[in-house]
Amino acid sequence: MNKTALLLASLLGLLGAGCHRKLVPAPTAKTTPVGTPAPAGLKVANTTFAHLSGRGKVRFQRGDADQSANFNLRVRRDSAIWLSGSLLGIEGVRALLTPDSVRVVNRLEKTYFVGSYSYLSQLLGVPVAYRQVQAILLGDYLPPPAGTQPTVQAEADNQAVRYPVAALLLEQLLSQSTGRVQQLKISEAAAPRSLTVSYTDFQVPTGADMPLAFTVSVVGQQSGAPTTNATLSFNRVEVGAGRLEFPFNVPKGYERQTKLGK
């Protein structure tokens, strides 16, 4: 995996477990919108802000690799996710995700990538769309595919929600007191491989009316490969309806890449 994919994987917490598997046609599945009503009896509290800005540190560990970087995150709900990663104050990678495209510029290697979510779906072997990425970053509940009835059961202070997505099993733990997602696990028994996202250190950000996880930990496991660990730690988050800038440009002379990982 090149440096662009490494940092983007850490920031999004999505690609760490999937980027080393062979590309296969992604299964098609029609997923209901994130705002779809939850099953009866399930307490869900998703974020509703218009804009979010945050910054912090990200640490990525895999085998002998152990790298850290600073990051800045900006979100305009259902419209744009902007990520910037830097070391010693020098930006190395910038990404802009919109509902129909994924764009990344790597200033360290003077390359850039422009692609669609079909590429990420192939990379992960499961349908991926902007709203899923947004929900995972924010710790929001992910509803099941259309026509799929999830199972819900109490587990200690949480409610566990499980349902299949293509060849995968998706499990979410939601706090019975706050309705916020505490953990998301995606597993595939046939591989076997799994991706677990844990949400901790909940705080109410400036301008918000509900808690947000200031620490997001990602563990990716795949048979025969080193375990991937990525941790995003926010030190500041602000939410509200104010305007945010999402600057993105590709400097002249940069080489276009057809994929994020080598």
Cis omega (within 30 of 0) for bond into 127: no
What tens digit of pLDDT does each residue of 136-162 get?
A: 889 999 998 888 889 999 999 999 999
pLDDT for res 199: 97
What fold is seen in the domain 3-31+39-239? outer membrane lipoprotein receptor (LolB), chain A (2.50.20)
Q: Element (H or E) spanning 123, and its range?
A: helix 117-124
The answer for residues whose C-beta is within 8 angstroms of residue 127's C-beta and 6 or more apart is 26, 27, 28, 29, 31, 121, 165, 166
| Cα distance from N-terminal residue to C-terminal residue, the chain | 5
Phi, psi of 193 (to 5 degrees): -155, 155
Of 18-27, 33-42, 55-64, 102-111, the range with the lowest mean pLDDT is 18-27
Highest mean pLDDT pick, 87-96, 108-117, 208-217? 208-217
Structural domain spans, the chain: 3-31+39-239
What tens digit of pLDDT does each residue of 13-36 get?
A: 433 333 333 333 333 434 444 555
Average pLDDT in the chain: 81
